[in-house]
Structure 1
Amino acid sequence: MIKRSHIRQFLAVVDAGSFTRAAQQIRVTQPALSTGIADLERLVGAPLFIRNRRQIRLTEAGGRFLPIARDLERNFRAADGFGRAEESDKPVLKLGTIRSVPGAFFQNVTALLARDFGLEISENSDSELRAAVHGGRLHMAIVPLRSGEHEPHVTPLYEEPIVMFVAADHPLAGQGEVAPEDLAPETMIARRACEFLDATSRFFTRHRVRPRFALRSDSDDRCLRMVAAGVGITTAPASLAIDGIVPLKVSGYDFRRELGLLIDPAWRTQPDMEQRIARALPAIQRAAADWQEARVDG
């Protein structure tokens, strides 16, 4: 008999494109995942994946099974939400977010959503959140939008620059603009949650700047506090500024990000969801506009 675990494992491999990443995402060992997929292939009577060292691809049978699996997972989620909705009178909303969403803004968003939904919140990377929404494991996620990404299932929130932060008493803090080469003697702090980490590295490499790193951390708060302490400098979205640090204009460093809500279209069309979402989204967009005016470009 096909179990829900089989469906979750199958969709995880499809969305992650790798047995290793899929195992990490659903928190099982890779041997257990391989065993589960082999069991599913035995039950459906056909190989579902073509495996080689470079990539994992669906077979023809796997392609036919994929929409069935997605429908099954959505129905499983609907059944889960049905039981919880009876207990709380609110349907469950599985909300994902990248780690670099400012805490105060995320508080505003979740407070508005909590009026109509019971929330289950998770943090992950942009790619993993998108895969989870696409695979039906999340209903909604706050992610950085890609260029031109304004489809009906996407709700833009706010846009902001990515800036270089230095301590307020740093010798460069009083200068209006500096060249990338001026940062060559500086010690850097790497925010591992930064969406522009690779782009920033390429930017400084082009200018032959190869700084020493004092810290690499998943914690934005720790990184920014180390900047305030004078340990090093870092790049971050403008809205993450804290006391004791100031933005420094670097010539040619002009990255920006736009955050938005990515919504599972199938979940959105479930009974009663559209009405609840229609109440929440305008309020969230107003909160985002107020946030941008007060904190980002103000």
Structure 2
Amino acid sequence: MNLAFIRYFLAVAETASFTAAAERCRVTQPTLSAGIARLEGEIGARLFDRARRAELTEAGHRLLPHARTMVEAWQLARTESRSTQRARLLRLAIASTLPIPATLSWVASAQQRAGFDIEISEGTADAVADRWRRGRCDAALFPVRRPIDQDELVALWREPYVLAAATGHRVATRDRWSVKELAATPFVLRAACEAQDDLERLFAAEGVRPRTVLSSADEERCGAAVAAGLGVCLMPRSLLRPGLVAAEIRDVALERRVVLAWRADADGDLVQTLRETALAHPWPGRRAGDARLAFAR
């Protein structure tokens, strides 16, 4: 059980608000919601009644005293440990367009194996890549559209961008669509999408300008809008969720590769742990052979 998820649970229980809890924990609301969902999956019960201002359910009330005990015990153990030896700190930057639950479970797996403290920052793919290049983080996980000539980097998986639609949407009835056939189809735009400029150029070249029903950098909100049937959305395969189906835009092949990069002077043991756990992790967008990806230099 990840202690971060317990902290998320306590923050929501004490504030009765997912938004306020996310601010207290210094994470995005989708990150906090994903953590709560993982915790509920491990507990096997709903912890909050979201229809009533995030009130605790009966299971949530039962967990509350145990959660406080776990956090207090961890803080005591951490204080005692640090009195004799300072823990290693890993500053990790993660692109906001990656699948959050899978990313968090990878981080937790690596942390459990190597026993380090961690500070996570989020941003667009470009912002995270820039943070890594400037040496402002120890490691970074982000997608790229073009090869990077760098030794301190490993490619984890390659995936296409697909046209996502709700199962009951018109677009879900076929596997492939032309740009002109999508002219009257409302779109949900992922504002942080690395392929957004390519999509806009593609539509402009065909003289097509579909209506936008939502433009947001919040991946959770965009996915929810598509699942509700408000519109379709271009998204990487790994962001598909239950209730969504994928189709192709005819004659278009957009893809990205997700890479793990690190500073040249980063802790070698930590880098090895990050590499090994990332390559072995069951990422939702990965297919057979992706673990052997390599960029041509």
Q: TM-score, normalised by structure 2?
A: 0.64
> Match of 2:281?
287
2:90 to 72, 90, 93: 93
Counterparts of 1:218 and 1:91, CA distance in 2: 32
Offset at 1:256? 0.6
Report which stretch shifted further, 180-189 or 85-94: 85-94
Partner residue, 2:272: 278
- For residues 1-298 of structure 1, what are the structure 2 equivalents within 5 Å? 86=82, 89-115=86-112, 116=114, 117-149=116-148, 151-266=150-265, 268=266, 273-287=267-281, 292-293=286-287
Distance 1:131 1:285 in 2: 23
Query: 1:157–1:288: 8 Å Cα contact kept in structure 2?
Result: no
Supply the AA of the counterpart residue of 1:250: I
**Does the Cα contact within 8 Å between 1:133 and 1:262 map onto a contact in 2?**
yes
Q: After TM superposition, where is structure 1 displaced by more than 4 Å over at least 4 residues in a row? A: 85-89, 288-291
Equivalent-residue separation in structure 1 for 2:240 and 2:260 (angstroms): 23
Match of 1:30 in 2: none
State the SS of the aligned residue for 1:149. coil
Task: Please report how far the alpha carbon of residue 155 of structure 1 lies from its aligned counterpart in structure 2 after TM superposition.
Answer: 1.5
* 1:291–1:214 distance in 2 versus 1, CA, 3 Å: closer
Residue 35 of structure 2 corresponds to none
| CA distance in 1: counterparts of 2:284 and 2:198, whole angstroms | 29
| 2:105 counterpart letter in structure 1 | N
Deviations 1:180-201 (A, max 9, x none): 1000001111111211111111
Percent identity of paired positions between Structure 1 and Structure 2: 25
1-side partners of 2:189 and 2:145: how far apart?
23
Q: Hey, what does 2:15 align to over in structure 1?
A: none
Cα RMSD over matched residues?
2.3
Q: Is the 8 A contact 2:110 2:273 kept in 1?
A: no
Unaligned runs of 5+ in 2: 1-80, 291-297
In the alignment, the residues of structure 2 paired with residue 151 and residue 289 of structure 1 have an alpha-carbon distance, to the nearest angstrom, of: 23
Cα deviation, 1:112-146, whole Å, max 9, x if unaligned, reads 33132211001012222222222222111111135
Q: Structure 1, residues 145-186: CA drift from partner, whole Å, max 9, x if none?
A: 353325220111111111111121112312132211000001
Return the letter of the residue paired with 1:114: Q
Q: 2:187 & 2:285 partners in 1: Cα distance?
A: 29
Q: Residues 274 and 200 from structure 1, CA distance in 2 versus in 1: closer, same or farther, beyond 3 angstroms?
A: same
In the alignment, structure 1 segments of 5+ residues that lack a partner are 1-84
Q: CA 1:99–1:204 in 2, change beyond 3 Å: closer, same or farther?
A: same
Q: Contact between 1:105 and 1:291, CA under 8 Å: does it hold in 2?
A: no
Q: Partners in 2 of 1:290 and 1:197 — Cα distance?
A: 22
**CA contact 1:112–1:284 (8 Å) conserved in 2:** no
SS for the counterpart of 1:114 is helix
